Structure 1
């Protein structure tokens, strides 16, 4: 299974990527929203994991753009934004799931 993981915190990105790789996922890791959008457009992924607060483009901007382009790849928002309103906004924009960071 091939995943795209977009997270601007390098230590968090490396830790999650290592865990996913250990469990036999193939992971492309990027550190900003612009790269996430470029990779999502250029490759076929089985799933995309997006942080919301990233440089260049937010995860929500990436999500909105991909959905407007009819990209149906499942997208998980993994973020520090844990308020109910944030969850509703992300799901309403087309995310398949929303997971607050601990």
Structure 2
């Protein structure tokens, strides 16, 4: 099963995308800010990271 990290600070968008991907059979985790996303990406393996650009702490370009 593919693992996906969603990095999105707007909770409604993150929840919608998470539900849709889980419905399709993916394992999904969510980070609401750039710092958390970096920490998760360094400690776990993901097949895909969906990254918002405008995030608190670190933005998507950093």
Question: Does TM, scored on the shorter chain, surpass 0.5?
Answer: yes
Q: Relative contact order: is structure 1 or structure 2 higher (C-alpha 8 Å, sep ≥ 6)?
A: 2
Q: What's the counterpart of residue 18 of structure 2?
A: 17
What is the root-mean-square deviation in Å for CA atoms of aligned residues?
0.5
User: What is the CA distance between 1:38 and its match in structure 2?
Assistant: 0.4
Report the CA distance between 1:19 and its aligned residue. Answer: 0.3
Normalising by structure 1, we get a TM-score of: 0.59
Aligned to 1:53: 54
Q: Which runs of 5+ in 2 are unaligned?
A: none
- TM normalised by structure 2 equals 0.96
Runs of 4+ in 1 over 2 A off after TM superposition: none
Runs of at least 5 residues in structure 1 that lack an aligned partner in the other structure: 62-102
CA distance in 1, matches of 2:61, 2:21: 23
Q: Which has the higher helix share?
A: 1
